[in-house]
Structure 1
């Protein structure tokens, strides 16, 4: 048996923090959790249910360009458990319950930043100057919005006198605005643009022109791994991508894609 293999095997058997798969196969497996029953935002999924691309996936492939990167999209409730069982190397967003625990390493750089907006048709017969002005409007928001968007938004949901819903299928939610079945959508702007482009809506001109209202701070998400070396590589590579402008190009390619 070759000496290098024996050394790798010894390291795997006696290491409690580094997954053996990364050491032997030069692979990194990443969980990209999602909260709803549809495909996660931005991800491109083939007929076998495998992630083949998308914003976060494309960023991670660029970051770990010298490794084979495998993605799995898994419902949020199961994702943290699978990381704890060391069935995967990394996860993003970082599970709150694992943050700060020994043996779990969190990035300094952000993998994804979500810019949640209120979106209404420019032709709508009402003006929006605050969240409070939406109290009598039909609202459709991303799943969990009432928990994640702060006290003012939670209060708006409680006081809404018309109809408030949170969607579970992005592909069905986007047309609701253009068909005027809701008065406003609440979701990440890039997610909206990606799916609106796929469905061939021109959100900048004509009858489908959309106005975007910014009432929420950005939501920033890190990467967590069981292997500190992977986190160090991620932070160094993400900084290079950001400073070189390549990160912006990856995001722009995905948001503007018509697939």
Structure 2
């Protein structure tokens, strides 16, 4: 059983997509990041970076005691290796998946997050910040579009690289992007959107989660220092 500590953000959706695609049994433990659940001691014990998602695998492959994993990319890799699914077994195929997984973790996710922050959540509009990150997201979409020109998915077959990237493209409009400008990316996006497991994950999201963020929630999410995890 996978115990999933989760909130319905792009990083959270990565993991539920994998679990649904793989047919793994899991329980969701909500981590309300607006209320500060990520700072509770029991959660910090498995996710010292005070970020969700995190998992506990109660039945690891080695038959030993439960294994906890934090960081969404590490979780995807752990689950892929546990199940043997959505990552190739050959050297070159595995490298293709891993480099695009790390590309998402180091680029698409953080840059999209900053674009959304400066455009939507920042207390004052800073034109340089908005332009800087909007352009970078646009560049990254261009990278994906070129990559997808001659293959159906980022690493050939559908893989954890696609599961990692798709949730960060879903909010493309809030990053001031138009998928019509990226035809190969749009085709990829629509193909993943149509997958039953992906549709199930997004259909389960309570609309109340999409409500505007309050000032108190912004303070919890954007006012963190080292004292937050002391």
Common topology (TM > 0.5): no
Structure with more relative contact order (C-alpha pairs < 8 Å, separation 6 or more): 1
Category of TM-score, reference length = shorter chain: 0.3 to 0.5
TM-score (norm 1): 0.30
Hey, which of these two has a bigger chunk of strand by percent?
1
TM-score in terms of structure 2 length: 0.33
